[in-house]
Amino acid sequence: MALCEAAGCGSALLWPRVLLFGDSITQFSFQQGGWGASLADKLVRKCDVLNRGFSGYNTRWAKIILPRLIRKGNSLDTPVAVTIFFGANDSALKDENPKQHIALDEYAANLKSMVQYLKSVDIPENRVILITPTPLCETAWEKQCIMQGCKLNRLNSVVGEYANACLQVAQDCGTDILDLWTLMQDSQDFSSYLSDGLHLSPKGNEFLFSHLWPLIEKKVSSLPLLLPYWRDVAEAKPELSLLGDGDH
């Protein structure tokens, strides 16, 4: 209390938020060199980047938990951007991995439902970025499956069908789309972007970030740096600089 009185206490600083919602490729994105960590570094003092990645989850489970992650609040609580990045588990083969597999039609419906839910809590389509699943390197992933005592449980051609469904949902709903499945395969031997055939390697994290950043940047470009640059703080009376509106 004494500190607050001495300082004069300005209004509470509220950081805008960017929400990353997805499966393991999102959950692991805050690891060293991860695409989420790169995003947080790029947005430091502008936005908080929240990692809401859930390893192994599919869109059926994601649709259920989304209302527990974001609820209608005041506009200051509303994320300025949301990424939705699912499909790696939904596209698992039903016969080999029935627990994670989600039928193609339901996958598309679940994505659409999530976009509609966000709209209902005042996050419009132009703040949402859908990300397609990455391509699958079958030879590398099959080795992982064999090590776990199972058969190859995903196929790249099937993942491509889910990527196309994601593209269609983005078109139908009016959201941005990052088509990783196509971009990675267009650029070079995409296996170098994957650490185990499914999850991203350091190079894959760089690739994702480099393509995601322009989509995020246009949503946050008007946001100010929070609190002034240190050289701009008034020396004699720093509170004049530090207890203002937080913009500089």
SS3 label, residue 98: coil
- Is 122 one of the annotated active-site residues of the chain? no
**What's the CA gap between 38 and 44, in Å, rounded?**
10
Question: What per-residue confidence (pLDDT) applies to 248?
Answer: 46
Per annotation, catalytic residue among 41, 172, 196, 245? 196
- Is 90 one of the annotated active-site residues of the chain? no
Number of domains in the chain: 1
Question: What per-residue confidence (pLDDT) applies to 10?
Answer: 66
Question: What per-residue confidence (pLDDT) applies to 233?
Answer: 93
Per annotation, catalytic residue among 29, 101, 195, 199? 199
Query: Is residue 6 situated within a structural domain?
Result: no
Query: Is residue 182 situated within a structural domain?
Result: yes
Question: What per-residue confidence (pLDDT) applies to 43?
Answer: 96
- Residue spans of beta strands (DSSP E) within the chain: 17-22, 48-53, 81-85, 128-131, 176-178
Question: What per-residue confidence (pLDDT) applies to 2?
Answer: 52
Query: Is residue 245 situated within a structural domain?
Result: no
Query: How many CB atoms sit inside 10 A of residue 5's CB?
Result: 8
Question: What per-residue confidence (pLDDT) applies to 246?
Answer: 45
Q: Which domain holds residue 110?
A: 17-221
Q: Answer yes or no: are the C-beta atoms of 152 and 138 closer than 8 Å.
A: yes
**What's the CA gap between 190 and 92, in Å, rounded?**
19
Question: What per-residue confidence (pLDDT) applies to 4?
Answer: 55
Query: Is residue 243 situated within a structural domain?
Result: no
Query: Is residue 238 situated within a structural domain?
Result: no
What predicted TM-score, i.e. pTM, was given to this entire model?
A: 0.92
Query: Is residue 183 situated within a structural domain?
Result: yes
Residues of the chain with pLDDT under 70: 1-10, 74-76, 245-248
- Is 24 one of the annotated active-site residues of the chain? yes
**What's the CA gap between 193 and 200, in Å, rounded?**
6
Query: Is residue 206 situated within a structural domain?
Result: yes
Query: Is residue 67 situated within a structural domain?
Result: yes
Q: Answer yes or no: are the C-beta atoms of 64 and 96 closer than 8 Å.
A: no
Find the CATH number of the domain harbouring 48.
Answer: 3.40.50.1110
